[in-house]
Structure 1
Amino acid sequence: MKFKNVAATGAVFVTVALALSACSSSSTSGSSTSAATSTASAGVVSTLDSSLKGTITAGGSSAQANAETAWTAAYVAQVAGVTVNYDKSQGSGGGVTNWLAGSYDFAGSDSPLKADQQTSSQTICGTGGGLNLPVYLDGVAIIYNLPGVTSLNLSSATIAKIFNLSITTWNDPAIAADNPGVTLPSTTITTVTRSDGSGTTQNFTNFLSAVDPTDWTYPASNTWPIAGTSAQKGGSGVVQAVGAGAGTIGYADHSAIGTATAATVNKVAFSQDAATAAFTAGATTVPTTTGDLSQKFDYSKLTGATIYPIPLISYQIVCTTFKDPAQAALTKSYVGYVASTVGQAIAAKNAGSAPIPDSMLTQIQTSLATVK
């Protein structure tokens, strides 16, 4: 099936945000005249202080790119004194590296901090370390370019064998068995992967390791473990390479794939509802420190016709204690806006992501309240 790039103009983002904030302004009490309520009366509310001034510097996850553009445009429309700079070119790996170096106020990452990174974060964040806050829910899309084949289903086992390079042609019996009645060419398969440290790769290899350890014998990792693929930087690089060559297949966050053709996985197409169903069915909080909300999927529960099998959760990672209280206030304000009902609605409309459930948003707001 084809997905359409749902990124829109800043005017649309602002319209969505202000329309929803208008719904709640009459129901807010006890706030100063410089504060603006940013979410609707129903759901998780974040109150913005429009007197804030300064610059938030962040970067990382390219999966979050469209959502970050939307969030930033809507946020600064209400808090005009704040500038938000998010560098999507870094990828999740670069985002975490720069954050640990003290260059970013928060990192965008499609996977939570690893144990050694959590330990390292105490250097910039104090003994509490960092908090992984899940603010973006989407899915890893399997995209392909095979002229004449407009609909393709791939089972988990077939995906594992394609990406471990043991299936090398498109008319392989395993692919044919997944697609009865479809005429498949003998074209050689070119597998396109990420060259940079990638949370999308981490999520994809988490899936492969869990669902087919017989065929996928490599550890889950944010770096691609197999030589011999067409390695590209960033999700956009993967999408461009797949689009440029017949017989290609790759993986990318679904919001980044534009008009690329995506396969169904175990006969399930990506949708916002299917991603939400995956979160509800299989995600569990596995905290690394007090207030941390790292999530882990039980892939054995991600089955059935209404659950997308390769969900992707992306995080904004912040310090428990900032060295600069002013930056703490700015970052808490922005992340709190993102982790509100309106923030999630903006991402859903403009990036095609699935809203994080309100129950989790409430937990994020609680965690943010402890940040100093």
Structure 2
Amino acid sequence: MSRRAFRPARHLPAAALLAALVPLSACGSDNTSTTASGGASGAATGASIACNGSGQLLGAGSTAQSNAIDIWKAAFGAACPNITVTYGGGGSGAGIQQFNQGKVAFAGSDAALQPSEINASKQVCTGGQAIDLPMVGGLISVVFNISGVDKLTLNGSTIAKIFDSQITKWNDPAITALNPGVTLPDAAIQAIHRSDDSGTTANLTAYLAQTSAGAWKYPPSKTWAGQGGQSAAGSAGVAAQVKQVNNSIGYVELSFAQTNNLKSAAISTGASQPVEATAANGAVTLSTAKVTGTGSDLALSIDYATTAPNAYPLTLVTYEIVCDKGNKAASLPALQSFLTYTISSPAQQAIGAKGYVPLPSEIASKVQTVIPTLS
């Protein structure tokens, strides 16, 4: 870490997906199948979960998917008490680093693996290498906190200039031109970006590189390159800062905007109307995502420059990074069980209710095919 309205019919029927969740051949001690109760999370009531393996399953990385992982852990843990899933945030960069050091069984990354990261993974994936498995669909909200302003429209150029300190006042002519009838204050903009290496940053900067007409002068990267502004760690940190600081702006995954009751800017894309930051509009864009990875790797290309009606361009996919071969025998059965559950239709719909975007069925079915082949 180079995608229409959300239509439930695009997903495989629940019966077909559940039929695909056959118990995996166990390499560990347990091989049972049970039903998740859903619990307080409401996740995947009635989902059949193959509980193979036992012990602790460790993951780390993307903070954008943290809320999704929390939902899934609750349902999976209720169904599979012999497996404890522990996930630490820290950002996509830190997660991939821990994975390539052999510290975790999977890493969450909002950006597909770079060639150097794949090469490094061969040291821990004996006889294989790390691959990208799309698991969490979402979108990046450009969140703002401006007194007296409830609605804001921005485009690629203005977002780039704001986060690079080229636009420094809220009543700058470039912003007011996009917001007729909105009274914007003569106040300094407090721009807040990620301090840690972040896949969310990589997706935002990829969008800016394609849509800012040259205003964003830096290559897409997990590491922040814009000038000025303040920084905060993780999606939660950025959300907290924007909520606290008046006249501020930041970028977080939609579920963090919703959890913190933050306002999100609409994006002017060239479509007839600015596009609001909603899961349904994010699904319009993700429905056009194409697999660009080879073999078992399912890295995706997203069309950040889309001008399709209702297509919210600032979308992302969080990948679970795993070994195609060379996974640790002690954790492989639990890893396959957990991933098989998270890509199921009930699990995807559960996080869809919390601001994420259920993956299109075409992508989900590809992931379901790969998981049993992990070794």
Query: TM-score surpassing 0.5?
Result: yes
3-state SS, counterpart of residue 84 of structure 1? strand
Q: Does 1:259 align with 2:286?
A: no
- CA distance, structure 2, for counterparts of residue 218 and residue 25 of structure 1: 42
Q: Does 1:363 align with 2:358?
A: no
Q: Does 1:303 align with 2:307?
A: yes
Alignment of 1:85-100 (within 5 A): 85-88=86-89, 90-100=90-100
Q: Does 1:334 align with 2:334?
A: no
| Offset from partner CA, 1:280-320 (integer Å, 9 cap, x none) | 23x22111x521000111223x2133110100111111111
Q: Paired residue for 1:83?
A: 84
Q: Is the 8 Å Cα contact of residues 143 and 242 (structure 1) preserved in structure 2?
A: yes
Q: Give the deviation of 1:346 after TM superposition.
A: 1.6
Structure 1 residues 308 and 53: CA distance shift in structure 2, 3 A: same
Partner amino acid for 2:281?
A
Q: Paired residue for 1:280?
A: 287
- CA distance, structure 2, for counterparts of residue 273 and residue 232 of structure 1: 28
Q: Normalization by structure 1: what TM-score?
A: 0.86
Q: Give the deviation of 1:321 after TM superposition.
A: 1.8
- Which of 303, 319, 324 in structure 2 is aligned with 1:320? 324
Pick which of 58-67 and 122-131 moved more.
122-131
3-state SS, counterpart of residue 59 of structure 2? strand
Q: Does 1:34 align with 2:39?
A: no
- CA distance, structure 1, for counterparts of residue 166 and residue 337 of structure 2: 49
| Offset from partner CA, 1:49-104 (integer Å, 9 cap, x none) | 3363211011111111111001011111111111000112x111111110110000
Partner amino acid for 2:130?
G
3-state SS, counterpart of residue 325 of structure 1? coil
Q: Does 1:271 align with 2:278?
A: yes
Q: Give the deviation of 1:47 after TM superposition.
A: 5.5
RMSD of Structure 2 on Structure 1 (CA): 2.5
Q: Normalization by structure 2: what TM-score?
A: 0.85
Aligned-pair identity in percent equals 32
Q: Paired residue for 1:9?
A: none
Q: Does 1:344 align with 2:353?
A: no
Alignment of 1:1-372 (within 5 A): 34-36=32-34, 48-50=49-51, 52-88=53-89, 90-257=90-257, 258-266=260-268, 267-281=274-288, 283-287=289-293, 289-300=294-305, 302-349=306-353, 351-372=354-375
- CA distance, structure 2, for counterparts of residue 214 and residue 311 of structure 1: 20
Partner amino acid for 1:328?
L
- CA distance, structure 1, for counterparts of residue 23 and residue 227 of structure 2: 57
Q: Give the deviation of 1:128 after TM superposition.
A: 2.7
Q: What runs of 5+ residues in structure 1 fail to find an aligned partner? A: 1-19, 40-44
Higher helix share: 1
Moved over 6 A (4+): 23-33
Q: Give the number of equivalent residue pairs.
A: 342
Structure 1 residues 174 and 36: CA distance shift in structure 2, 3 A: same
